[in-house]
C-alpha cells in the first residue's frame, strides 16, 4: 500500500503552525512585573536571561496537531493498493453452484454470480440472459492484479459477443454441465408505461414528460390509464409497472432500490443521490448535440438505474423542445434484447495479455475528517475546563 497526496501544494498551509506558538507566547507576556518603592534601595543584580518557555504543553500540542491535520486534509491523501487480494469465484447462470461453494470453502474465496452487479451467490440465481463475455472484462478491470479468479460456466454458454475474452490475469476456467438461460421471444411491442412520482417543487417538469410519453402511443391503440400517470412521491406506483420516473431530490428510498433490483428501470431526478451500494462506474446513456451527458446509468441488480444530470426545464435542458426528445426518452426504458449467441464454453476460455487496469485509490479524507473532529473536541475540552485560567 502506498500513501500519496493528490494536491501536495496544500501542505503550504503548515505555515499556520506558528499561530498557536505566537498565541501562547503572547499569553505569557500578559504577566508583567510590578516595581515596589521600597525595593529601589536594594542592590541591583544582573537579571538572568529568560528562556522561551511555553505553558500548557498538552493544549499547544493539540492545536499544532489540529492545524497539521487540516493541512493534510487539504492535500487530499489517498491510499493506493488498499484493495483486498482475496480470490474471487464467479458462477454463470445455469450452473449448479454447489461445486463453487465447495471450492470456496477450501480457499476462503468470495462467491458471486457472473451477472449484472455481481451479486453474492446467496442471492437468487439470475433468470434473464446476461452478457457473460462483457461481464468478464468488467470484472477483470475492477479486481486487483493479485486477486485470483475462478469462473464456473456451463457447457453451452450464452452471452458471448463473438470475440474470445482477453483478460489481464490467468483465469481458472471450470466447465460444468448445464446451459445459460435463453431469452424468451418478445411478442409485446407495446410502448413502455413509466409511472411518474414527483416532489412538489418538481411539478413544472410534468407537462414535458407527459407530452413525450403520450407521443409513444400508437394512434390505433386506446390510451392506457397508467401510461404517464403522475402522483406525489408518497403514493405507491402500480404493482405491474416496470418503469418509473422518480423526480424527488435526496436519498433514494429503499422501495425504489428494491424495485430496480427486481428488474425495474428507474430514471432519477438530477438532485437524487446514487445509492451507497452502487460501486460500478456510471455509463453515459444520452448526450446532447455538444456531447454533454444528459442521462447516466448503471446496471443495478436485475434492472437499470439511471439519473438525469440536469433539471427537467428548457433553460437547463434545451433538448426538451427538440422533436426527437420523446424517442430519446423512450429508448431509456426499452428492454435490451441480448444477441442470440451460444458457444461451446471449452472453446471460449479467456486468453491473457490484456492491459492491467489501474484501480482508483481509496480516499482517506473521510477518516481524516473524523480524526480532525476528535482532536477539535479534545482541544476545546482542554481550553475550556474549569481548572484552567484564561483561554488564549
HEC string of the chain equals CEEEECCHHHHHHHHHHHHHHHHHHHHHHCCCCCCCHHHHHCCCCCCCCCCCCCCCHHHHHHHHHHHHHHHHHHCCEEEECCCCCCCEEEECCCCCCHHHHHHHHHHCCEEEECCCCCCECCCCCCCCCCCHHHHHHHHHHHCCCCCCEEEEEEEEEECCCCCCCEECCCEEEEEEEEECCCCCCCCCCCCCCCEEEECHHHHHHHHHHHHHHHCCCCCCCCCCCCCCCEEECCCCCCCCCCEEEEECCECCCHHHHHHHHCCCEEEECCCECCCCCCCCCCEEEEECCCCCEEEEEEEECCEEEEEECCCCCCCCCHHHHCCCHHHHHHHHHCCCCCCCCEEEHHHHCCEECCCCCCCCCEECHHHHHHHHHHHHHHHHHHHHCCCCCCCC
Q: What pLDDT score was predicted for residue 187?
A: 44
What are the pLDDT digits (tens) for 159-169? 777 678 889 88
Residues 166 and 227 in one domain: no
Determine the average pLDDT of the residues in 55-67. Answer: 83
Q: What is the pLDDT of residue 198?
A: 95
Give the burial string for 317-332 (b: 16+ CB within 10 Å, else e): bebbeeeebbebbbeb
Let me know if residue 339 belongs to a domain. Answer: no
Asked whether residue 329 is assigned to any structural domain, the reply reads yes
Q: Which pLDDT band holds residue 391 (cuts at 50, 70, 90)? A: very low
Q: Is residue 374 part of a domain?
A: yes
Residue 340 lies in a domain: no
One domain, residues 267 and 324: yes
Q: Are residues 153 and 270 in the same domain?
A: no
Do 245 and 295 contact (CB within 8 A), yes or no? Answer: no
User: Which pLDDT score, from 0 to 100, does residue 353 have?
Assistant: 83
For residues 317 and 226, membership in a common domain is answered with yes
Q: How sure is the predictor about 54, in pLDDT bands with cuts at 50, 70 and 90? A: low
Q: Across the chain, what does the average pLDDT equal?
A: 81
* Domain identity same for 126 and 253: no
The count of other CB atoms within 10 Å of the CB of residue 384 is: 9
Q: Are residues 100 and 170 in the same domain?
A: yes
Mean pLDDT of 190-196: 84
Establish if 358 belongs to a structural domain: no
Per the structure, the count of domains in the chain is: 3
Q: Cell 486468453, residue? A: 351
Q: Is residue 321 part of a domain?
A: yes
* Structural domain contains residue 225: yes
* pLDDT score at 279: 63
pLDDT(272) > 70 = yes
> Residue 129: how many CA atoms within 13 Å on its side-chain side?
22
What are residue 344's phi and psi, to 5 degrees?
Answer: -80, 125
60 and 135 in a single domain? The answer is no
Q: What is the pLDDT of residues 80-132, one digit of tens each?
A: 766 777 889 999 888 887 877 887 777 778 899 988 888 888 888 887 777 88
For residue 234, is it within any domain? yes
| 204 and 301 inside one domain | yes
Whether residue 97 sits in one domain with residue 62: no
pLDDT in tens, 286-337: 998 888 999 999 888 888 999 999 999 999 999 999 999 999 999 899 865 5
Q: Which domain holds residue 122?
A: 88-183+346-352
Rounded mean pLDDT, 232-259 = 91
Q: What's the mean pLDDT in 142-148?
A: 86
- Does one domain contain both 159 and 225? no
Assess whether 324 and 387 both reside in one domain. no
- On whether both 147 and 238 belong to a single domain, the answer is no
Amino acid at each position: 500500500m502506498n500513501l500519496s497526496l493528490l494536491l501536495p501544494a496544500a501542505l503550504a498551509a503548515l505555515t499556520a503552525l506558528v499561530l498557536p506558538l505566537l498565541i501562547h507566547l503572547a499569553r505569557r507576556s500578559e504577566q508583567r512585573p510590578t516595581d515596589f518603592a521600597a525595593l529601589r534601595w536594594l542592590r541591583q543584580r544582573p537579571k538572568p536571561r529568560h528562556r522561551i518557555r511555553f505553558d500548557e504543553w498538552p493544549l499547544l500540542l493539540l492545536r499544532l496537531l489540529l492545524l497539521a491535520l487540516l493541512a493534510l486534509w487539504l492535500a487530499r491523501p489517498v491510499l493506493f493498493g488498499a484493495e483486498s487480494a482475496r480470490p474471487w469465484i464467479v458462477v454463470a447462470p445455469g450452473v449448479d453452484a454447489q461445486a463453487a461453494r465447495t471450492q470456496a470453502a477450501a480457499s476462503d474465496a468470495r462467491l458471486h454470480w457472473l451477472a449484472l452487479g455481481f451479486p453474492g451467490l446467496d442471492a437468487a440465481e439470475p433468470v434473464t440472459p446476461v452478457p457473460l463475455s462483457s461481464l468478464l472484462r468488467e470484472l477483470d478491470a475492477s479486481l486487483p492484479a493479485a486477486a485470483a479468479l475462478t469462473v464456473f460456466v456451463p457447457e453451452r454458454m450464452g452471452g458471448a459477443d463473438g470475440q474470445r475474452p482477453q483478460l489481464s490475469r490467468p483465469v481458472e476456467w471450470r466447465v460444468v454441465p448445464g446451459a445459460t438461460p435463453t431469452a424468451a421471444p418478445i411478442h409485446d411491442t407495446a410502448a413502455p408505461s413509466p409511472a411518474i412520482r414527483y416532489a412538489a417543487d418538481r411539478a413544472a417538469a410534468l407537462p414535458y414528460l407527459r407530452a413525450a410519453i403520450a407521443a409513444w402511443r400508437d394512434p390505433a391503440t386506446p390510451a392506457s390509464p397508467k401510461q404517464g400517470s403522475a402522483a406525489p412521491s408518497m403514493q405507491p406506483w402500480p404493482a405491474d409497472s416496470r418503469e418509473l420516473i422518480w423526480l424527488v431530490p435526496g436519498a433514494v428510498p429503499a422501495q425504489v432500490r428494491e424495485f430496480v433490483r427486481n428488474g425495474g428501470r428507474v430514471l432519477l431526478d438530477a438532485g437524487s443521490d446514487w445509492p451507497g451500494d452502487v460501486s460500478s462506474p456510471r455509463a453515459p446513456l444520452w448526450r446532447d448535440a455538444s456531447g454533454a451527458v444528459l442521462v447516466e446509468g448503471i446496471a443495478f441488480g436485475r434492472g437499470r438505474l439511471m439519473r438525469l444530470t440536469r433539471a427537467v426545464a428548457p433553460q437547463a435542458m434545451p433538448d426538451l423542445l427538440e422533436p426527437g426528445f420523446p424517442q430519446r426518452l423512450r429508448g431509456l426504458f426499452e428492454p435490451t434484447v441480448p444477441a442470440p449467441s451460444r458457444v461451446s464454453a471449452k472453446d471460449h476460455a479467456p486468453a491473457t495479455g490484456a492491459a492491467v487496469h489501474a484501480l482508483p485509490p481509496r480516499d482517506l479524507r473521510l477518516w481524516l475528517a473524523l480524526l480532525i473532529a476528535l482532536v477539535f473536541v479534545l482541544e476545546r475540552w482542554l481550553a475550556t475546563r474549569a481548572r484552567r485560567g484564561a483561554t488564549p
